[in-house]
Amino acid sequence: MTTGPLPGVDDPRLAASPSREHVPSDPVGAWIATLDPGYFAVVMATGIVSIGSRLFGHILLADVLLVATIVAFVVLTLAYAMRAIRFPQRFASTLRAPSSAVSYFTVVAGTNVLATGLLAHGTWLLSLVLGSAAFLLWLALTYGLLGSIVLAGNHPTLREITGVWLVWVVGTQSVAVLATVLAPQLPWSIGQEMLGAAAVLFWGVGVVLYLILVVIIFLRLFLIETTPAEMGPAYWILMGATAISVRAAAGILDVGTSDPTPLLDAMRPFVSGFSVVLWSFGSWFIPMLIVFGLWRYFVRRFPWSYEPKLWSMVFPLGMYAAATGTLGQAIGFDFMNQLAAVWVWFGVAAWGLVVALLLGSAVMAVRRRSRDTP
């Protein structure tokens, strides 16, 4: 796992800060000290590939990936907690810098993705607990981030607003997705109605956030030169944010069919139509993302190596399959189901490739350490 520069923490503007803490020499301590705030994308990516695999009947693969999701969730939760305890100044500096603080929405999304995956085994109470914790974290991060930018004057520059910022949308829509799949399993009708309403409200907030941020990000792409390092997997989050918005919309349509309420009935035409618009835009952007990748690796010769942000590419691929399949079922578009049944393997392949790069990076790190050890 990488111990390279961390956005927000290893930002040159913070390099002279007296709050900088020494990085331990041992590999585990160094990894915890420089842990990327967005590393929970591992949980997001693995969990959604598991969910997509289950959706299309690949049960054994889905269960294996679900176990991997649980392991990643436990390891990273402990690592984040250890970082906050052992390196409180480094941890605090990532929360003060908006460009790194926004990455913590991966914790919200990862927790909700895991809670959604667990529902396949009927663990609605555990999923409810995880979802409640994710909701509280979403509240703290959302209003803390807005307060930091607007009230404390920690204004990010336009260059800093990359595709990573759309993980804010992903975290918001993950609350809506979990609400739609959890509602039918609750034993209380009032709880089902509340979760149905919450899904609509969070979907609406997520869509508006998406529209605001995607305009800023496109302005950044048009107005500021982009380096190969910046043109990384993070821009796949743009498609991932679109896909999870579609997935949340499909869940709202499903809940509105199985357990209709006046709110869900009133929203159905708009949710159905706008979800198709979002899906179309996300699909349109995929070829551009491929062009970005070809430019980065083949034109500008950016090294093929493991980086934590690669998980931000796996998650959109997996979510696109899940979103396309569920929307196709909700509105009766058979071609979407057929596309999603094939696309899910792109997510599986991407997950396997990133795992291979991670293992290769770990092996090389061990070899370097053994050579350097007297």
The answer as to whether 3 is a domain residue is: no
State pTM to two decimals.
0.90
Q: List pLDDT tens digits, range 242-301.
A: 999 999 999 999 987 777 888 888 999 999 999 999 999 999 999 999 998 899 888 988
pLDDT at 12: 39
Q: How many domains does the chain have?
A: 1
Question: Across residues 360-371, what is the average pLDDT?
Answer: 80
330 close to 278: Cβ distance less than 8 angstroms: no
Query: In terms of pLDDT, which residue wins out, 53 or 374?
Result: 53
The answer as to whether 29 is a domain residue is: no
pLDDT > 50? residue 104 = yes
Question: Across residues 97-108, what is the average pLDDT?
Answer: 94
pLDDT > 90? residue 207 = yes
The answer as to whether 6 is a domain residue is: no
The answer as to whether 363 is a domain residue is: yes
pLDDT at 365: 78
Residue of 276, 239, 240, 269 lying closest to 253 (CA atoms)? 269
pLDDT at 30: 85
For residue 70, with 0-12 CB atoms within 10 Å meaning exposed, 13-18 middle and 19 or more buried, which class applies?
Answer: middle
Quote the CA–CA distance of 311 and 329 in Å, as a whole number.
27
DSSP assignment of 139-176, as one string?
HHHHHHHHHHHHTS--PPPGGG--GGGGHHHHHHHHHH
The answer as to whether 23 is a domain residue is: no
Quote the CA–CA distance of 242 and 6 in Å, as a whole number.
26
The answer as to whether 26 is a domain residue is: no
Residue 122 backbone class (left: φ over 0; alpha: ψ -120 to 50; beta: rest): left
DSSP three-state, residue 7:
coil
pLDDT at 309: 86
Residue of 90, 122, 113, 91 lying closest to 20 (CA atoms)? 90
CATH number at residue 190: 1.50.10.150
From residue 42, alpha-carbon distances to 95, 167, 177 in Å are 20, 13, 19
Q: What domain range includes position 314?
A: 35-372
